[in-house]
Amino acid sequence: MTHDYKRNGTTTLFAALNVADGTVLGDFKPRHRHQEWLDFLKTIDETFPEIELHIVCDNYAAHKHERVQRWLKRHPRFHVHFTPTSGSWLNLVERWFRELTQKCIRRGSFNNVPQLESAIWDYIENTNDSAKPFQWKANPKDILAKVARARVALDKAQSK
């Protein structure tokens, strides 16, 4: 950030990446609490009404809230998978967020939140028009070895 950087407000982008075709479903909320997460889950439910859904997310408290858990029990076609701490690389939507940041946000100048949200909507629409699924470039053995190392480190940290 430059010396004259000025924050002109914030927003929360909820995004769901369809790993089969590379499209993104997004929604903006002013905050990231369990209420907003539930609203986004309902949006996903309405958008994809008849298929089994596997949701990969981090361990943020809003994702595990009691009200969220109750809603998920009433919607058994939703299967939630939590990435381990420091395992965001396992979640492909995080890869998409990196692309969004690099190609849309980082060099942008936004005077207010609606201007920022408009730029992000444009990015989502443009990328969805020519969407392709992400392709893992890493060797599966290397990925599994990294997961095993992360598990060992996590187990050590938890036993202290």
In this prediction, residue 75 carries a pLDDT of 97
- The answer to whether 20 and 133 are in contact (CB under 8 A) is yes
pLDDT at 131: 95
Q: Which residues contact 148 (CB under 8 A, 6 or more apart)?
A: none
Residue with token string 């408009």: 118
| 27-36, 42-51, 114-123, 137-146: segment of lowest average pLDDT | 137-146
Domain ranges of the chain: 12-159
Percent of the chain whose predicted confidence (pLDDT) is above 90: 65
Model's pTM, two decimal places?
0.80
- What span, in angstroms and rounded, lies between the C-alpha atoms of 138 and 132? 18
* Cβ-Cβ contacts under 8 Å for 77 (sequence gap 6 or more): 51, 52, 53
Residue 53 CB contacts under 8 Å (≥ 6 apart), including other chains: 44, 77, 78, 79
Terminal C-alpha separation, the chain: 38
How many Cα atoms within 13 Å fall on the side-chain side of residue 99?
15
Per-residue pLDDT at 3: 57
Q: pLDDT above 70 covers what percent of the chain?
A: 96
Q: Which of 14, 16, 15, 11 is nearest to 31 (CA)?
A: 11
CATH superfamily label, 12-159: Ribonuclease H-like superfamily/Ribonuclease H (3.30.420.10)
Among the listed residues 44, 100, 93, the one whose alpha carbon sits nearest the alpha carbon of residue 72: 44
146-149's contacts with Cβ under 8 Å and 24+ in sequence apart are 147/87, 147/90
